[in-house]
Amino acid sequence: MNVKRVLPLVLAAALLVLLGGVVSALSAATVRVHKTPGKILARQTAVVRRVNPRLTRRLRATTWRWQVVLGRRRSHSAAPLSSLRALRFWRHHARRMIRVAAHPPHMGQWLCIHRYEGGWSDSGDPYWGGLQMDRGFMRSYAPSLLLRRGWANSWTPLEQMWVAERAHRSGRGFYAWPNTARYCGLI
């Protein structure tokens, strides 16, 4: 019998048995019965699971960061940061914001413009970043990002594309990049 094949199976089975006992112990509520003359009172005390509030704060910060970049209002939860409810709320919102942020509406067009403009970390004055944004453009369409992270060359490519998307939605279209938008067939 080969020990290398059997040992992982035995360890996996032991782990499943151990986890099954822990899960059943955590999910079961404790029931205490008090007998009083003529009545039986049942009282349930739920098992309270404490959560590290640092993890919840980090998820909340990620959610808020992407909500600011996307131009959305910040989400709020009344649950304390050390509760399981708050952890689930912020985990759900963080995943959703990251999923939305990963797919800007005109991503192909922004990548085409980037191909003719510069590197994502291009720091040449008067234009910064992969979409060559100037100071006025950044002040107009990303003031909070400009204050928090500096010029566009220190932003992530997704952040740069979302700022350009904000300019596009405001009515400027692709005309902020007249030459490269023509090369890409956007104007």
SS3 35: strand
Which among 161, 157, 179, 158 is positioned nearest to 169, based on CA atoms? 161
This prediction's pTM:
0.68
> What local confidence, expressed as pLDDT, does residue 42 receive?
53
Tens of pLDDT, residue by residue over 60-111, are 999 999 998 888 899 999 899 999 999 999 999 999 999 999 999 999 999 9
Q: Which domains does the chain have, with CATH numbers?
A: 53-101 (no CATH), 107-183 (1.10.530.10)
pLDDT tens-digit map of 12-68: 666 666 556 544 444 444 444 445 555 555 555 555 567 889 999 999 999 999 998
